[in-house]
Amino acid sequence: MSTSHASQNLYIETYGCQMNVADSEIVASVLEEKGYKVVEDIDSADVILVNTCSIRENAEQRVWGRLDVFKQIKKKKPEVIVGVIGCMAERLKEKLLEEEKIVDLVVGPDAYRDLPNILESAEGGQKAINVLLSKEETYADISPVRLGKNKISAFVSIMRGCNNMCSYCIVPYVRGGERSRDPYTIVREVEELYQKGYKEVTLLGQNVDSFNWKAEDSEENISFAQLLEMVAKVSPSLRVRFSTSHPKDMSDDVLYTMAMYNNICNHIHLPAQSGSTRVLEQMNRKYTREWYIGRIDAIKKILPNCAISTDIMTGFPGETDEDHKDTLSLMEYVGYDMAYMFKYSERPKTYASRHLPDDIQDSVKSQRSTEIIDLQNKLSEQTKKEDLGKTFEVLVEGTSKKSKEQLYGRTSQNKVVVFPRHNYTVGDYVFVEIVDCTSATLIGEIVTK
């Protein structure tokens, strides 16, 4: 690439999951190496990239809205390059170039290494696209540029793609098949983060439990439980989190590894989607209600202080009132600390969109969704009240929005706590006794030990 790019300003906007946040940091690394400078002010940008999500329709609608904003920017500054990257780029491909005259380049999740060449083509006035999916690409050798203002916590991608083929899910179509990253590059990245002062890492994958790396030149084979231990050993003062777990692959080995290391956080995100075995079968989730409950029982037995969060989808094709009641009863059985709750929305190309009519009226979806949300609010409040009087180690993450005299951080269980500042600062570990709570936040007082 020519040296004229040394002064090019790059603005990246990210939508969707934590994997997209991690991907934006890879993109920043690839382009910074070629002389681009990441900026926070969109008006000063020479290149605008929007990293997109296709998991639900409303995620895509937000991006279409942003493209309208970029169109206005381009009217004032026609030389600005606008690119759509990520899952929506993979799903819509050339359609983005055709429909939106403002989009200059479209790049899928496995083609970020090619961005410097694609940008060069776009700067020369040529529309450019690369949406080839890869069976090998893991970006293992790239040290991501950390874009977040919080220099305490970082995401580390351990694998890419998904093999599960849930009938409602577009991820395998836009992110390709599953491949695990070399664990030694993961540990090296975590060590670098720790040396730079980071206090917490979150290991990311569509399905971390199926991490399975095999060495090419030996018989070495590393599972997720083994990787988790390798990362935990980097330092006892580095917190380790991970997301997301799939119930069909959540092994006791992982739970026992978590129990062995105090710095592996006591929080598991275990998406249920539905409490009905019949619906789970239609979703192609590959587990039953009974299997899921078995995993919950194992978590509670091996990790009695572990918080559990989940994803719940309502209104899946063919879902009956009985199926809905099964979901509510599962939620009560588990007593989730937190849940992401969604109404089913059909995604193009998925098995469900081709074979399962979206036959639940929106009014019914809304009613069931309200019942799920109301129940979860009650459960979340209960779990917080159970923490009253307990003391937790909290990693300080920032100043409370409501008062500069208050700090906030999270417990190992991923619950937010607000407490008096004293002389503590971001990145410190403090012990906090919980004295009160709201429906969303724990309120504490610092305990000096």
pLDDT attached to residue 1: 37
- Indicate whether 182 and 325 sit together in one domain: yes
CA separation, residue 88 to residues 96, 173, 238, 283 (Å): 9, 11, 35, 22
Query: Which value, to the nearest 10 degrees, does the dihedral of the CA atoms of residues 53, 47, 140, 172 take?
Result: 20
- Indicate whether 179 and 297 sit together in one domain: yes
- State which amino acid sits at residue 297: D
H or E element, residue 130: strand 128-130
- Indicate whether 204 and 344 sit together in one domain: yes
- How many structural domains does the chain have? 3
Per the DSSP assignment, residues forming a β-bridge with 442 are 417, 437
> Per-block average pLDDT, block size 10, for the chain (449 residues)?
62 91 94 93 94 86 90 91 93 82 91 93 88 85 81 93 94 92 96 95 95 90 98 98 95 98 98 98 98 98 97 97 98 97 92 95 97 97 96 95 92 96 94 93 90
pLDDT attached to residue 100: 62
Residue 362: exposure state from Cβ atoms within 10 A (0-12, 13-18, ≥19):
exposed
- Indicate whether 286 and 418 sit together in one domain: no
Residue with tokens 């159970």: 386
Closest CA to 45 of 20, 75, 77, 67: 77
Residue 444 Cα to chain centre, angstroms: 28
Taking the C-alpha atoms of residue 334 and residue 123, their distance in angstroms, rounded to an integer, is 54
H or E element, residue 200: strand 200-204
**Which of 367, 384, 401 is the last residue before a domain boundary?**
384
Look at residue 143 and tell me if it is in a domain: no
- Indicate whether 372 and 397 sit together in one domain: no
Q: Can you give the residue range of the structural domain that contains 102?
A: 3-130
**Which of 115, 130, 145 is the last residue before a domain boundary?**
130
Please give the model's pTM, rounded to 2 decimal places: 0.89
CATH assignment of the domain containing 259:
3.80.30.20
- Indicate whether 319 and 181 sit together in one domain: yes
- Indicate whether 125 and 211 sit together in one domain: no
Query: Which value, to the nearest 10 degrees, does the dihedral of the CA atoms of residues 156, 160, 164, 170 take?
Result: 100
Q: 416: number of CA atoms within 13 Å, CB side?
A: 16
- Indicate whether 327 and 348 sit together in one domain: yes
- Indicate whether 208 and 301 sit together in one domain: yes
**Which of 95, 130, 165 is the last residue before a domain boundary?**
130
Helix (H/G/I), strand (E/B), else coil: 192: helix
